[in-house]
Homo-oligomer: A and B are copies of this chain.
Amino acid sequence: MLELSILGFLFEESLHGYEVKARIQGLSGHIRPVSDGALYPAISRLVKAGLVEQHTEPGSGAAPRRILSLTEAGRTELLARLRHPKEAEITDGQRFFTLLAFLHHLPDRAEQAAVLRRRQTFLNIPASFFYRDGEPIRAEDAPDLFRQGMLRIARATGAEEKKWLAEAIGSLEG
C-alpha cells in the first residue's frame, strides 16, 4: 500500500524521499503517520525491482537529496496495479481509498469506471457489520449502545459512498 502511494506520487513528478513522505502524510491527514523505517525500505524495494531510479542532488541545507523518478517499468506497474486491484484493495476501505487517490492516472475512463463498479458490487452485498444466524442485524436490534453506534456509522458511510459511486460511474460512462 505504501508502495502504491510512492508510485502514485512519482507518476506525477520526480521527488525525493522526504517529500514523498510529506505528500503521503498530507493525503491521510494525521490518521496514520508514515515511519522512515517503512518508507526507505519500500523505496529500496522499488529501486531494486527496477521501477524507480535515483540520482543525488544537493539538499536545501541538510543531507543531499536522493531524487526518485519512475522508470518506464514503474509507470507500467502503477497502471497495472490501478487497473487490476487485489481483492483486499476493493474490500478494505483504507486500501480502496489509497487506490482512489491515484485512479485519475488511469488514462481510460472505462477502466476507471470498472474499478468503481467492483467497489459498488462489493458494497451491495452485505449491509455490513454483525450477522446473527447469517442475517444482518438492524441498528435498533444491536445489543448495546456501542454496537448501535458502529451500525449507524457504517450505514451512513456506506450510503454516502454508494451515492457517490453511482454519480461518478454515471459521469464517467455517460
How many identical subunits does the complex contain?
Answer: 2
Please report the total number of A residues contacting B with Cβ < 8 Å.
45
Complex interface: chain B residues within 8 A of A127 (CB)? 29
Whole-angstrom CA separation of A160 from B17 in the bound complex: 36
Main secondary structure on A side of the interface with B: helix
1/0 per residue, CB under 8 A from B, across A129-169: the answer is: 11110000000000111110110110011011100110010
Known: A91-B31, A104-B146. A157 touches B153 (CB 8 A): yes
A interface, CB within 8 angstroms of B: 26-32, 88, 91-94, 97, 100-101, 103-104, 112, 125-132, 143-147, 149-150, 152-153, 156-157, 159-161, 164-165, 168, 171-172
